[in-house]
Structure 1
Amino acid sequence: MKLLNTLLAGAALAIGLGGMAHAEDKTKVGFVYVGPVGDFGWSYEHDQGRQAVEKAFGDKVETVFVESVPEGADSERVMTQMALDGADLIFTTSFGYMDPTINVAAKFPNVKFEHATGYKRAENVSTYSARFYEGRTVIGHIAGHMTETNTIGYIASFPIPEVIRGINSAYLAAKKVNPDVKMKIVWVYTWFDPGKEADAASALIDQGADIIMQHTDSPAAMTIAEEKGIYAFGQASDMKQFGPNARLSSIIDDWAPYYIARTKAVMDGTWVSTDTWDGIKPGMVEIGEFSDKIPADVQASATAIKEALEAGTMHSFTGPLNKQDGTAWLAEGETADDGTLAGMNFYVEGVEGEIPN
């Protein structure tokens, strides 16, 4: 009996160790989101990328996520817990997670971190972002053609280079086809707050805007546009269901290929710290289907712009261009370098108002 018990105990231990080994074979991937996965915008699309990782690798991976994590100390605690829980790779998906990511990565050198839209890297920290400004060139072109009041409203989140680039590229594209166009900007100092976003949309409409753009994460502005009978563009995801009559097109973020590739690199042992900034050509930035409310000739010219950006024969920031104060920035035919774009802290000539501190 004693021998039998010993054999059974040994078998149980072997099974247990086998189970542990199987669990350890899985690559654990964590995601930290600034908004809820149901925002139908930024965090929603990142979570679509997470689900694509699960679909691509099946039982070889385990993914976890925490949503609605404020930027700052809260995010650092969430990242730390993910690392302690055995994550091999952690995607931190908002600009304000930059310093917390660097801080936590220093404490967990064997964990790989990927920070979205930031610029600080380390041996175990990569950065990645999308050239959203290319998409705003396309929708700015459409807006310049479609506005009847010559006033485009723009809901801006925080005064960081990513957001300022978007304002400038949309304005330049609209101005090129409509010299009388003006852009009204409301800063809401949040990524996701449907109430504030709705109020901002209403304020812009009161200022004469008949087209709304946004660099925030909820579909609130789209619903206001639908109610008021004006136009808007989807942000980060398509958002058509929230404004079937209002939506002209959308900028769609597709993170899935990147998330799959970086997860595979961890699995293969080939992961290295890199900086990735992809746009329309690699498909990280997609342009949503055009509404039939857009005239055929405008659809055609917008498609031509998209194809030129994709081919590299067009750049969203091509001179001659001046800064807002009238000082020269880009000479005739000169294009902006990535360093200037990455740190952009000025409006181009013609944009009204001041960038808040």
Structure 2
Amino acid sequence: MQRRTILKGGAAAAATLALGRPGFAGSHLPVKAGFIYVGPIGDGGWTYEHNEGRLAVEEHFGDQVETVYQESVPEGADAERALTQMALGGADIIFTTSFGYMDPTINVAKKFPDVKFEHATGYKRADNVATYSARFYEGRAVQGTIAGMMTETNKIGYIGSFPIPEVIRGINSAYIHAKKVNPDVEFSVVWAFTWFDPAKEADAATALIEQGCDVILQHTDSTAPQAAAASAGDVITFGQASDMAEYKPLPRVSSIIDNWAPYYIERVQAVIDGSWEPTDTWGGIDSGMVKIGEITDAVPEEVKAKALEIRDSIADGSYHPFTGPLNKQDGSAWLAEGETATDETLLGMNFYVEGLSGTIPQ
């Protein structure tokens, strides 16, 4: 029988603290895998897909693995408390699934050296802390291609969450590829300063639509921008992190799907085997960690063909989304003809490419 637990504050916290954490022998079963989520599992996007990965772990391992999770954990001190409770409650491996959990993960890992920690989208590692992320910018290249070819107003809106390299990479990639197929395209970026807040996300989408944007991209977690576009009519959108298929065939014409299940299964298996190590994983379209959701019939065939060409060339390694010639926003040279960006540059990206307007908040 598969088991799962939802940890909620108060009584649950007291219970976990009272339990203490048994020592991990490296081969005891069931292994307990914990997940800390920044949003609710019903957000329809980022957290939903991480939770789908957790459910896949349960299905794959059966009674060998018990999973626990806590949803809607704010980044910061609350995350550190939630992680501590989960470690005290006997978790053998804990996945922390948002960038802002980075320092709390490192801090708690120091206190629990026998617990394995996995932090999504961060860059700090330790003897018992691994990192993992997906090359979302590859999916943005496909989305940007569709957006540039389908816009009628030549105005594309982009809802950003926080101005971190992960999000900036996506904006740049989408813009580069929209511009390649439509030199007249313009991007407007609105920063929501939240991962999940349906009201703010809807307001941002509405503001962009009122500015004349007929394509909306998002790096936020809810389906609120999809709903706003559906109400406006004649606006297309893309699913973010999950398929958001309830809005097919319009406004949602395709999506980036984060496929975490294989990674979660692999890493839990490593705990069971005693082979777990603090690795750094950055998967993309080629590994299946990034998937392109169905391109609907609302997309013209020639547009679909171009988008699939981009997807397939990224997958087989014949094309890199950041290939020169490319300049930075201020006109200074960045990549020469045929030169591709290094992972080091992409991981620290803090600039817009030439042609994008506006400034990145500091």
Common fold by TM > 0.5 = yes
Query: Given that residues 97 and 119 in structure 2 are in contact (C-alpha distance below 8 angstroms), is that contact kept between their aligned partners in structure 1?
Result: yes
What corresponds to 1:228 in structure 2?
232
Matches within 5 A, 1:156-305: 156-229=160-233, 230-242=235-247, 244-305=249-310
Find out whether 1:139 has 2:143 as its counterpart.
yes
Query: Structure 1 residue 72 and structure 2 residue 76: aligned?
Result: yes
Matched, 1:353 2:351: no
Residue in 2 aligned with 1:6? none
| Alpha-carbon contact 1:223-1:243 (below 8 Å) kept | no
In structure 1, what is the Cα distance between the partners aligned to 2:144 and 2:307? 9
Q: Distance in 2 between matches of 1:30 and 1:101?
A: 13
What is the aligned counterpart of 1:55 among 38, 59, 62? 59
User: Are the equivalent residues in 2 in contact too, given 1:346–1:355 (CA < 8 A)?
Assistant: yes
Secondary structure at 1:25's aligned position in 2?
coil
Task: Name the residue aligned to 1:17.
Answer: none
Cα deviation, 1:330-354, whole Å, max 9, x if unaligned, reads 0000000000000000000001100
Code of the residue aligned with 1:252 in structure 2: it is I
SS at match of 2:35: strand
1:107 aligns with 2:111: yes
Structure possessing the higher radius of gyration over alpha carbons: 1
Aligned-partner Cα distance in 1 for 2:135–2:83 = 26
Match for residue 7 of structure 2?
Answer: none
The CA distance in 2 between the partners of 1:154 and 1:245, in whole Å, is: 18
Instruction: Provide the rounded CA distance (Å) in 1 between the counterparts of 2:29 and 2:250.
Output: 49
| Equivalence for 1:117 | 121
**Equivalent-residue separation in structure 1 for 2:29 and 2:311 (angstroms):** 43
Q: Deviations over 1:242-299 (max 9, x none)?
A: 3542111000000000000000000000000110000001000000101111111111
Identity percentage of aligned residues? 69
Contact 1:234 1:247 (8 Å CA) reproduced: yes
Distance 1:25 1:234 in 2: 38
- Which residue pairs with 1:331 in the alignment? 336
Tell me if 1:318 matches 2:320: no
Aligned-residue offset at 1:240 = 2.1
The one-letter code sitting in structure 1 at the alignment partner of 2:240 is Q
- Aligned-pair distance for 1:301? 1.1
Partner AA of 1:341 in structure 2: L
> How far apart in 1 are the matches of 2:166 and 2:105?
19
5+ long unaligned stretches in structure 1: 1-20
Taking structure 1 as the reference length, the TM-score comes to 0.93
**Contact 2:33–2:65 (Cα < 8 Å) also in 1:** yes
1:39-85 CA-to-partner distances (Å, cap 9, x unmatched) read: 01000000000000000000000000000000000000000011001
CA contact (8 A) 1:226 1:243 kept: no
Specify the SS of the correspondent of 2:189. strand
Alpha-carbon distance, 1:129 to partner: 0.1
AA matched with 2:124: K
Amino acid at match of 2:215: I
Contact kept in structure 2, 1:87 and 1:111, CA below 8 Å: yes
**Which shows bigger deviation, 236-245 or 268-277?**
236-245
Aligned amino acid, residue 245 of structure 1: L
Q: Measure, in 1, the Cα distance between the counterparts of 2:307 and 2:250.
A: 20
More displaced 10-residue stretch of structure 1: 128-137 or 238-247: 238-247
Give the one of 305, 308, 314 matched to 1:309: 314
Contact 1:154/1:167 (CA < 8 Å) preserved in 2? yes
Letter in 2 for 1:43: T
Contact 2:187 2:356 in 1 (8 A): yes
Q: Give the letter for the 2:294 counterpart.
A: E
Q: Matched residues in 1 for 2:248 and 2:228: separation?
A: 8
Helix, strand or coil at the partner of 1:115: strand
Amino acid across the alignment from 2:82: V
Q: CA deviation at 1:24?
A: 5.0
Indicate if the aligned counterparts of 2:187 and 2:357 stay in contact, CA closer than 8 A: yes
User: Runs of at least 4 residues of structure 1 off by over 6 A?
Assistant: none
Q: Deviations over 1:215-250 (max 9, x none)?
A: 000000001111111110000111121354211100
Residue type of the alignment partner of 2:44? F
Q: Which of 75, 91, 96 is the equivalent residue of 1:92?
A: 96
Q: How far apart are 1:25 and its partner, in Å?
A: 1.9
Name the aligned partner's letter for residue 252 of structure 2. R
Unpaired segments ≥5 residues, structure 2:
1-24
